[in-house]
């Protein structure tokens, strides 16, 4: 039974251990351990640090236009209990834990699901080093990073465009109100953005603020910073 669980876990995470005792410990919840030292708690501590390092390097290398405050927010969201628990559940590893009697996997809180992911990262790091640990993190967490980055940008395209323009050209985007139409209770505004004389596609919205956000998004799409929104 134990061997089958270890095999299933290695298949799920895409890594084969040289020392399966590390994997056994990573999957051992404190309720299923004879002593605290035999549980995955210490390994979770290590894995949390490895996860944080790899995500920080990923953000530093892939998102050159983000300042440290933005990277800190994104990193916090990526390594959060909620995101780690999601990845753990997607991999199915919460069903492979060694638990104490009377405890069922489907009743475990998110904190346990998140902890086993971090402990597995720690185990892979101890078994094979930073390269396989980093590869595992990239494979499982990069989709989460992209989704979180997209969500951050969606909330403030103007801020993203301003930072990009200042880093690339030391210029500040200028927003121009080009047109407005409709009755007062349903007014629509057309806004365009200009950076150093370069004009970008305009956008319409029912408020000037929203039109500016959409114009900034259009500029970021044209600059290749973000992907174009999917058409409905």
- Residues marked as catalytic: 48, 118
Structure tokens at 51: 């996860």
Signed CA dihedral, 125, 127, 130, 135: sign only:
negative
H or E segment and range at residue 53: helix 41-62
H or E segment and range at residue 203: strand 203-205
- The phi, psi pair for 156, rounded to 5°, reads -155, 75
CB 92 within 8 A of CB 78: no
Give the residue from 152, 187, 172 showing the smallest Cα distance to 219. 172
End-to-end Cα separation, the chain, in angstroms: 49
Q: How far apart are CA 47 and CA 45, in angstroms?
A: 6
Q: How far apart are CA 141 and CA 87, in angstroms?
A: 8
């Amino acid at each position: 039974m134990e061997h089958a669980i270890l095999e299933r876990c290695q298949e799920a995470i895409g890594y084969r251990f040289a020392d399966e005792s590390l994997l056994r410990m990573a999957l051992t919840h404190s309720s299923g351990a004879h002593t605290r030292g035999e549980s995955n708690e210490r390994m979770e501590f290590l894995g949390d640090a490895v996860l944080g390092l790899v995500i920080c390097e990923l953000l530093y290398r892939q998102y050159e236009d983000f300042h440290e405050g933005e990277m800190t927010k994104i990193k916090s969201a990526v390594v959060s209990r909620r995101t780690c628990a999601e990845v753990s559940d997607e991999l199915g590893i919460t069903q492979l834990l060694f638990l104490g009697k009377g405890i069922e996997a489907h009743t475990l809180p998110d904190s346990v699901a998140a902890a086993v992911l971090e402990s597995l990262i720690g185990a892979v790091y101890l078994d094979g080093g930073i390269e396989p640990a980093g590869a595992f993190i990239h494979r499982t967490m990069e989709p989460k990073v992209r989704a979180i980055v997209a969500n951050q940008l969606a909330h403030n395209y103007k801020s993203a465009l301003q930072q990009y323009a200042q880093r690339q050209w030391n210029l500040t985007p200028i927003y121009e109100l080009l047109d407005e139409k409709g009755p007062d209770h349903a007014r629509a505004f057309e806004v365009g953005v200009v950076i150093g004389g370069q004009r970008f596609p305009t956008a319409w919205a029912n408020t000037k603020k929203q039109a500016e956000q959409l114009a900034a998004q259009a500029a970021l799409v044209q600059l290749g910073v973000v992907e174009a929104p999917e058409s409905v």
